[in-house]
Amino acid sequence: MLQEWPKTKVIWAHNCGRAPASQVAEFLKDFPQLTCDLAGMSVASPHPFGWGTLNTYAGNDYRPNSHVTRIQENDGTINPSMRDLFERFPDRFMIGTDIAHPFAYSRYKDLIIAFRRLLSQLSSETARKIGNDNAERLFGK
């Protein structure tokens, strides 16, 4: 799809499919219209579908060769490879909450706290872009 319609703006959920930072970087280099939504990748709380915690679902058992990359550890510390990726491509990521069902509304506050913790570990310019500016640019004010 990205190759067939290169001018189409695409927002790929879950940090571009939870791929390792190196693979996400390749996608971002190859497809300038691609943006990654960080929804569902950061908070340690019960998963709304009963799949353990979100950290387990988002890669608690992450291994370097795994197809799943985790953005933050249980204590909120950012994965260094992801921090480097965000700083390298600050215009290509945005916050998303992945709250699609009423039973998940109760975890909204935890998601926001986790994203604030994530953004606090980035440069102020990158944090501003990921936390606000990129969504405004894509969707308008």
Q: What is the pLDDT of residues 62-106, one digit of tens each?
A: 444 455 677 887 778 888 999 999 999 999 999 987 777 787 788
Nearest to 119 by CA among 28, 35, 5, 111: 111
The whole-angstrom separation of Cα 121 and Cα 131 is 12
Tell me the whole-structure pTM to 2 decimals: 0.80
Largest CA distance in the chain: 41
* Per-residue confidence (pLDDT) for residue 68, from 0 to 100: 62
Tell whether 66 is covered by a domain: yes
Answer yes or no: is 99 within a domain.
Answer: yes
Q: In terms of residue numbers, what domain contains 65?
A: 10-139
Q: Which pLDDT value is given to residue 34?
A: 95
Q: What is the pLDDT of residues 27-63, one digit of tens each?
A: 999 999 999 998 866 544 444 444 344 443 344 444 4
Number of domains in the chain: 1
Give residue 86's pLDDT: 97
Query: Is residue 1 assigned to a domain?
Result: no
Residue 4 lies in a domain: no
